[in-house]
Amino acid sequence: MIPDFQSIMLPLMQYISDGNEHSLFGTHDALALHFELSDEDLNQYTPSRRQKLFYNRVSWSKNHLIAAGLVTTTRRGHFVITDRGKQVLSTNPIIINIKFLRQFPEYIEKIERGRTEEKSIVIEKDNGYVPEETPEEILENNYDIIRTNLALEILSRIKSCSPSFFENLVVELLVKMGYGGTIKEAGKSIGRTGDEGIDGIIKEDHLGLDMIYIQAKRWENVVGRPEIQKFVGALAGQGAKKGVFITTSRFTEEAEKYKPLNETKIVLIDGKKLADLMIDFDLAVSTKYTFTIKRIDNDYFEEE
């Protein structure tokens, strides 16, 4: 199990207690051995999947120690323990965490000056409450919660609309994704065929060099393998090789595992994936807030 970033602080201090310069990567590897982390643990990512989780937590741990004056940077990606850090270790602390670091005024100034007085009181009343997640993880996890709730709301609204509205929504989404040319061109195909379960045809590219056949099901029931096989049969009847099956519900495991024996390629999009795509391509949603997370530009501080 990956430790929280505060549980990493003391082992990190102990590892660099030799006074030598250490790199973040080398420290990461040493701490991974200390905590006996498996390859599976080390390959876990933060919610945004932009950085590996343990590396992120080691980095945050180091940054808090630097803010408290226990560690100092020497050059890009490298750091050493300070005299204060050595003095702290000489007292044989059982744990080093945020509550411990708050004894240093500069730490409070650097890390906690943005907190309101009310929030600081809550931390004191909680008797040194220790959050397990880094600020990035908290932000990303809360973003995921907001996005999940939005996706559920999107699906609920879609299911309350008419079948024709859903078909037009599917076309608009595919056009936003780069298929079908313009909305006007793509709209000519949808709903016109009704041939053996095919709800529409859309261009794969702006020139129409290939076509994609669509089936759109605004269903509550789970879509099973027989429905997918019927769709593949309908594609064969049209001489088509590419199809997209979209539903507001979900597919059974057998349906997801089904692979046509011929050259036909089928993409399955369930309700969750549909809502995610609508959010990603800004269909039926609008931006409410924008937060920009910035980081230090190390190259700027590199001297010739």
- Rounded to an integer, the average pLDDT of 192-214 is 72
Residues 128, 16 share a domain = yes
Residues 109, 21 share a domain = yes
Asked, for residue 302, whether it belongs to a domain, the answer is no
Asked, for residue 144, whether it belongs to a domain, the answer is no
**Percent of the chain beyond pLDDT 90?**
42
Residues 166, 247 share a domain = yes
Confidence of residue 248 (pLDDT cuts 50, 70, 90): very high
Q: Where does a domain end: 98, 133, 168?
A: 133
Residues 98, 214 share a domain = no
Confidence of residue 21 (pLDDT cuts 50, 70, 90): very high
Q: Provide the 10 A C-beta neighbour count for residue 48.
A: 14
Residue 96 has a pLDDT of 94
Residues 161, 106 share a domain = no
Residue 212 contacts residue 204 (beta carbons within 8 Å): yes
Number of domains, the chain: 2
Q: Is the pLDDT of residue 296 over 80?
A: no
Asked, for residue 296, whether it belongs to a domain, the answer is no
CATH of the domain at 187: 3.40.1350.10
Residue 4 contacts residue 11 (beta carbons within 8 Å): no
Asked, for residue 146, whether it belongs to a domain, the answer is no
291 vs 213, higher pLDDT: 213
Residue whose C-alpha is closest to residue 183's, from 69, 283, 263, 294: 283
Asked, for residue 92, whether it belongs to a domain, the answer is yes
- Rounded to an integer, the average pLDDT of 22-38 is 95
Q: Please list, in sequence order, all residues whose beta carbon lies within 8 angstroms of the beta carbon of residue 187, skipping any fewer than 6 positions away.
A: 168, 171
291 vs 196, higher pLDDT: 291
- Rounded to an integer, the average pLDDT of 8-28 is 95
* pTM, two decimal places: 0.64
Q: Is the pLDDT of residue 227 over 90?
A: yes
207 vs 200, higher pLDDT: 200
Residues 162, 259 share a domain = yes
Q: Which residue has the tokens 């009343």?
A: 125
Q: What does the CA dihedral 88, 93, 96, 100 come to, rounded to 10 degrees?
A: -80
Give residue 99's domain range: 9-133
Q: Is the pLDDT of residue 217 over 50?
A: yes
CATH of the domain at 42: 1.10.10
Residue 94 has a pLDDT of 94
Confidence of residue 112 (pLDDT cuts 50, 70, 90): low
